[in-house]
Structure 1
């Protein structure tokens, strides 16, 4: 079986920046076991698979380890593939996903994700996370992911993770976000996932479903610019809209090809 594949760098306007995602269009759904094997072989943070429907596009996301309930950068990458490579005409793309209906608006070279808010609430820091991180936060919140708030960008940049201790934590499909106010933007973050093939996700759109409402209240702003401080770095243009958040970014094509599966 021959399948098309696209590798897209999301939340960046430069190749080798942002977060790489593979996008695989399908005519019909393949077995989940095969989808997971393809994602593992691709060896990027997320592989998006989609099947065209009559009124929406059925979209799913797989890491090399499991299926995710929400992924921002691979959704942006899929929208980019539809517009740039597959000549999809509507300016608003509607996806049917595990997180409900998701829309992406396409304006020139900017793509805007419309995602559900996941407002974090105050929480206690689990002992396992406390022991795995080099610097303790000022505040701890949780939604799907734990959100650890630090007083400075330099602390976020320099935080170290004890991988052995960190991998003893089971957060399901969640991870650990470390964040602070930014020096050249509104806020910054990094994202770590225990028990995952890829420890640090380069740019995590779904994490901003929690970061946007938090920093919007903290800074008393509805429109914010965010940067994720992985080695690849990424820029996200954010808007807080109450129960929804809008996350905008650019993308670039790295690779177009085919994969072969028996």
Structure 2
């Protein structure tokens, strides 16, 4: 990103993973975040890590002018996510989510105009029996993120929306980026638990 982000699942997950792997830290970790106060991360025996983040339930709003053209498809509904600063947009099905090729310049202009961090597109899984319940993608080109591979913070809005719509608390989201990623979610009042895995891909020392 080109700016400091207020809430980042990547950073929290990676830091918890590194503290456990490199420093041998066990149990719950507590992080102080400028946006949302204390965040906790709990490492599990299977290697997964659960992040405890504030929920960001959406408020339905009219589809912003220019969004259908920027996405190449008209959303069924749009929701602002409060302090998180994203626009959650619901598309008809997974195939549509996967096929979107957004006009990123137009998305950047729209998010600047509307005071948003980014745009989430989402749809239900195509049927039961899959390893996921809904799909999503996330674009934040004005902040330097053309398409994020997996966005923990976006799932603080996705989880409340889909839990209410599906009628089940524990769900799994598939972020359908080129890399993809699965995020297990659970809504607990005004908090959302996000569970996933981290992998170390680079190890080095920074010198100043």
Post-superposition CA distance 1:33-59 (Å, at most 9, x none): xxxxxxxxxxxxxxxxxxxxxxxxxxx
- TM-fit CA distance, 1:128: 3.2
In the alignment, the residues of structure 2 paired with residue 190 and residue 129 of structure 1 have an alpha-carbon distance, to the nearest angstrom, of 15
Structure whose CA Rg is larger: 1
1:152–1:181 contact (8 Å) kept in structure 2: yes
The two structures have a TM-score, normalised by structure 1, of 0.72
In the alignment, the residues of structure 2 paired with residue 229 and residue 150 of structure 1 have an alpha-carbon distance, to the nearest angstrom, of 13
RMSD: 1.3
Partner residue, 1:48: none
* Residue correspondence of structure 1 range 13-28 to structure 2 within 5 A: none
1:146 aligned onto 2:84: no
Determine which of 240, 244, 250 is the counterpart of 2:191: 244
Cα distance in structure 2, aligned partners of 1:237 and 1:249: 7
Secondary structure of 1:253's aligned partner? coil
- Asked if 2 retains the 8 angstrom alpha-carbon contact of 1:128 and 1:168, the reply is no
Alpha-carbon contact 1:68-1:173 (below 8 Å) kept: no
Structure-1 residue corresponding to 2:174: 227
2:37 is the counterpart of 1:78 = no
- Which stretches in structure 1 are left out of the alignment for 5+ residues? 1-62
* Superposition deviation, residue 194 in structure 1: 3.0
Partner Cα distance (2:11, 2:116) in 1 = 15
Match of 1:32 in 2: none
Would you say 1:127 and 2:61 are equivalent positions? no
Alignment partner, residue 112 of structure 1 = 50
Task: Give 2:100's aligned residue.
Answer: 159
Higher relative contact order (CA 8 A, sep 6+): 1
On the 8 A contact 2:87/2:116 being kept in 1, the answer is no
What is aligned with 1:50?
none
Residues 28-81 of structure 1, C-alpha deviation per residue, up to 9 Å, x if partnerless? Answer: xxxxxxxxxxxxxxxxxxxxxxxxxxxxxxxxxxx3x11111011221111000
* SS of match in other structure, 2:78: strand
Instruction: Give the distance between the partners of 2:116 and 2:60, measured in 1 at CA.
Output: 20
Mapped partners of 1:236, 1:137: distance in 2? 23
Corresponding residue pairs, total: 197
User: Which blocks of at least 5 consecutive residues in structure 2 are unaligned?
Assistant: none
- 8 Å contact 1:69–1:173 — kept in the other structure? no
The structure where helix makes up a greater share of residues is 2
